[in-house]
Structure 1
Amino acid sequence: MITMEDIIRDGHPTLRLIAKEVPLPASDEDKKTLKDLLEYVKASQNPEIAKEKGLRPGIGLAAPQINVSKRMIAIHVTDEKGQLHSYALFNPKIISHSVEKTYLSNGEGCLSVDESIPGYVPRYKRVTVTATTLEGEEVKLRLKGIPAIVIQHEIDHLNGIMFYDYIDKQHPFKPIENAEPINN
């Protein structure tokens, strides 16, 4: 199982690389890595397991965060209506997005960033993503709200982008045009 020690921290060069496509069908090693990413996110949300294993709670994790520069992400998050979005994806790609933006009113965090970096992170309100599942099935996901924000955050990791790159350094809490906040 992935532990907090496996998660590389801000400043590590792998976090700024553009991750490589995963050759499909995925190798057993790549499948295991992707399963481990999802297992970490799920376990980190269970207070007992998180405390026992010293895990920081997370709702998404990308392979580059464990120093594997490949296009794999895992997400385990509940949307505003209480519906669970749990995905382990190879080669996720945003194929379309809304014009409208959104952002988390309390800002974003990251398992690779230990300190709190305040500020609004503009994201698309809705995204359509194509990817391949652990089972090798091609999927098209239409996401909005928090799941859309999380998948954009994780796909950014695959492109060497950190959430704070989007924060206006001079005015971190400046209202974002054409954007609706999500309270988190």
Structure 2
Amino acid sequence: MITMKDIIRDGHPTLRKVAEEVSLPPSDEDKKILESLIEYLKNSQDPEIAERYGLRPGIGLAAPQINVSKRMIAVHVEDENEKLYSYALFNPKIISHSVERAYLASGEGCLSVDKPIPGYVPRYARVTVKGYDSEGNEIKLRLKGLPAIVFQHEIDHLNGIMFYDHINKENPFAPIDNAVAITR
């Protein structure tokens, strides 16, 4: 089971590396790692388990955050209609996106970043993501709203990009052209 001590913090060199593709079909070890990512998210959202193990609640986690430089992510989040998006994917990539932008009105956070970093993080309002499940089957997801933002955040981790890299340094809360604010 992944705990907070397994999650590396901002400044660790693995967070700035471009992660390696996972060979498919996935090895048992890679399947185990992928399963542990989604398990952490589910546990972290269960108040009793989170309290017992001191887990910070998360809605997305990428393998580089546990110091495994491989292209694996997990997302466990509900959209505004309370539809659950619970996915653990190998080699996810954005294959198309909208022109329209979106951002979280409250800003983004990250399990690898211990302090709040205020500012708007411009993202695409809609994305189509392709990846592979734990059995190596192709999965294609059309996403919008919070799930789209979470997938973009986690895929950024696979490319060595942190959410605050997108924040306007001069004016963190500058309006973003052609963007819709997402409130949780």
TM-score under structure 1 length normalisation:
0.99
Q: After the TM superposition, which residues 1-184 of structure 1 pair with which residues of structure 2 at under 5 Å, given as runs?
A: 1-184=1-184
Moved over 6 A (4+): none
The gaps in structure 1 that reach 5 residues or longer are none
Instruction: Check the 8 A contact 2:25/2:135 in 1, yes or no.
Output: no
In structure 1, the residue corresponding to 2:64 is in which secondary structure?
helix
Give the Cα separation in 2 of the matches to 1:23 and 1:17.
Answer: 18
Question: 1:29, CA displacement in angstroms?
Answer: 0.3
Compute the RMSD of aligned alpha carbons: 0.4
Give the Cα separation in 1 of the matches to 2:114 and 2:128.
Answer: 30
Percent identity of the aligned residues? 74
Number of equivalenced pairs: 184
Question: 1:135, CA displacement in angstroms?
Answer: 2.2
Instruction: Check the 8 A contact 2:9/2:113 in 1, yes or no.
Output: yes
Question: 1:124, CA displacement in angstroms?
Answer: 0.2
Give the Cα separation in 1 of the matches to 2:62 and 2:183.
Answer: 24
Task: Give a deviation string over 1:123-146, Cα, whole Å, max 9, x none.
Answer: 000000110001221011100000
Q: Which amino acid aligns with 2:84?
A: L
Give the Cα separation in 1 of the matches to 2:183 and 2:126.
Answer: 16
The gaps in structure 2 that reach 5 residues or longer are none
Question: 1:79, CA displacement in angstroms?
Answer: 0.2
